[in-house]
Structure 1
Amino acid sequence: MTALTARALSRRRVLSSGLAVLGATILVPGIARSDPSQTFVAASVLAFDGSAILAATPKGLLRHDGVSWAELEGVEAPNTLTTHPTRRGVIYAGWQDGSLRRSEDSGESWTAADAGLPGAPILSLTMAAHAPSTLYASLEGDGLWRSEDDGETWAFVMDRPYLGGAEHDVLSLVSVANETGMGGIWLYAGTQAGLTRVPDCFCRWQDVVAGDAMDALVAGDAPTDAATLPSGEPVEILALAPDTPERIYAALPSGLWLSMDAGVNWAQLTSEPVTSLAVDPIDPLHVIAVGPSGLRLSHDGGATWTSFDQPKDS
């Protein structure tokens, strides 16, 4: 795979210098027809593409078609993946060097989708819940960028959230299809300082509270009786099925957490850390995760878990 040289440029440096990163078309060989020879040790990213599962491992990008794993040849493991249930076969992937690619054939070939991005590492991607041709990207040291044309062009939309006296990178980003009260829906962000959110009109970051954005602005402080996520822990992964926005999963060092009311109240599902997580877009109770116990599957929303099929050593 051809990769762009990493350039950790901030948005402000890029705009002042007039520089832009121009992508080139990348063709990637087809899927290998047998299970990979390496062991599935850990995944940096998991995602569903329809009923298939995508897994970024230290040795590359894998796909499980319901029967066995296959390696997507020539694809280095990305930092982040995003898909949408209404666009099966369309996959976006972002890398540490700032490159972003789109596949429209389930990962058999890839095209550049990063024209106008500054080249900073891409930490998280999400497709808009109601408009999957709209894509959001969080960039290290920078903020949020938006493309409304399937990654053909990009524009900066929001600075990083300011929490606890400092700006924080957005580690995980999801589009949550609940109305904000201001004519749009929410983007939820996991950071080192906890959970925050912003309406997709990008007026301001704010805490997750009951009610809509206008209610929150009028009310001021968040209610004190909510069962919130543990204070001081980073929210490393957020995941949900777009059609059930009230049901949000969050991975923290203390384990896996679940909210049934769009992030107002949380309950701990497991105390085992989760390093990768994905929710089936068709069945929000179908969850796959990676942790110290390996790759595991839940069919009851994280209440119980079983081991999942993994590629075997050669």
Structure 2
Amino acid sequence: MKDTDMTITPEYSARLSRRAFLGALAAGAGLIGVPFSLRAASGASGPAIAFDGDALILADGTLSRSDEAGGWIELSGPAAGGILSLATHPGRPGRIAAGLTTGGVALSEDGGHAWEARSQGLSDAPVEAVTIAAAETDTLYAAMRGDGLWKSEDTGRSWALAMDRPWLADAERDLTALASVDLATGMGGIWIYAGTELGLTRVPDCFCRWQDVQPGDAMDALVSGKPAPMEAPLPAGETINALVSAASLPTRLYAALPSGIWMSEDAGVVWSQKSNTHALAVAVHPTNADHVVAITGGGLIESRDGGANWTALARA
């Protein structure tokens, strides 16, 4: 367990048993312990990026924040470990959730200057991805390496398992990216989109089951159980390193893949390639869906026109 409470409850004991069982299966199949992309080693940070208002929060070995003059301020980062993933919310400027390489989640309420551990009930497995619910800023989701999707409704003070990992190509697959997407087609308006090493999946906020992205609403997809043919999906079999929904235009999604940066205008049904540079992380401005910044193998790049044109973003 994390933090200071070491009481072993029946619920926690059940989670331990479940993890031990899944861990044994995955270890036998060689699925656990292999990083899915250029992920940070324990104690290092990134690659991860997020907008906090107009400022950028960047984890790429160290943690830093852009300032109004175009420079960068180095931040101390969480004491509990390096940052593997970042999430912010336009409804709560200054609030930053960080998934840690050493396991657990840290939360900042002042733009990344001070951090508090919010990991009670989570394992020590690295948090591959974290997101803040689109319609509820106190609700956090975390994707645990070797485990499933976890949910907190009190800004990380307590956590509960929301979903097991998706079953894809005859095996459970870790989640490599998360985005809470505010769509009318979801149950309660919310979908949780997730990247995996094999592509894109999603679950409505009923947490009924993982399903392929397809046109129509959540109930139609759940009843049919058969995905509609996709006209232009993301490349099959590629790891999704990062995924983000534009808060000002929720149907606009950006994804960072080894093949580049991809964009969808219709909530993930049809995708178009916006860059062919290996992309490790991506962020979109909270009020401008065309303003995108990405971490690539060559550094930071920025687009002000929805990915049609890109320029290098200097770190002065």
Shorter-chain TM-score bucket reads 0.7 to 0.9
State the AA in 2 paired with 1:295: L
- Taking the TM superposition and a 5 Å limit, the aligned residue runs for 1:226-305 are 226-305=231-310
- Number of the residue aligned with 1:54: 57
Distance 2:46 2:186 in 1: 37
**Shift in alpha-carbon separation, 1:220–1:154, aligned structure 2, 3 A:** closer
Return 5+ residue gaps in structure 2 as ranges.
4-10, 18-44
3-state SS in 2 of match to 1:249: strand
1:209 aligns with 2:207: no
Is residue 179–residue 186 contact of structure 1 (8 Å, CA) maintained in 2? no
Distance 1:292 1:94 in 2: 21
- Number of the residue aligned with 1:15: 14
| Deviating 4+ runs (over 6 angstroms) | none
1:72 aligns with 2:71: no
Is residue 14–residue 118 contact of structure 1 (8 Å, CA) maintained in 2? no
Distance 1:196 1:225 in 2: 13
State the AA in 1 paired with 2:279: V
Is residue 148–residue 164 contact of structure 2 (8 Å, CA) maintained in 1? yes
Distance 1:273 1:108 in 2: 30
- Number of the residue aligned with 1:94: 99
Q: CA deviation at 1:77?
A: 4.0
Scaled by the length of structure 2, what TM-score is found? 0.83
Q: CA deviation at 1:225?
A: 4.8
Q: CA RMSD in A?
A: 2.3
Q: CA deviation at 1:16?
A: 5.5
Q: CA deviation at 1:161?
A: 0.5
State the AA in 1 paired with 2:47: S
The 10-residue stretch of structure 1 (42-51 or 256-265) with the greater mean CA deviation from structure 2: 42-51
Is residue 277–residue 290 contact of structure 1 (8 Å, CA) maintained in 2? yes
Distance 2:225 2:312 in 1: 45
Is residue 94–residue 124 contact of structure 1 (8 Å, CA) maintained in 2? yes
Distance 2:15 2:238 in 1: 36
Is residue 55–residue 67 contact of structure 2 (8 Å, CA) maintained in 1? yes
Aligned length: 280
The 10-residue stretch of structure 1 (298-307 or 91-100) with the greater mean CA deviation from structure 2: 91-100
3-state SS in 2 of match to 1:179: coil
Q: Whose helix fraction is larger, Structure 1's or Structure 2's?
A: 2
3-state SS in 2 of match to 1:217: helix
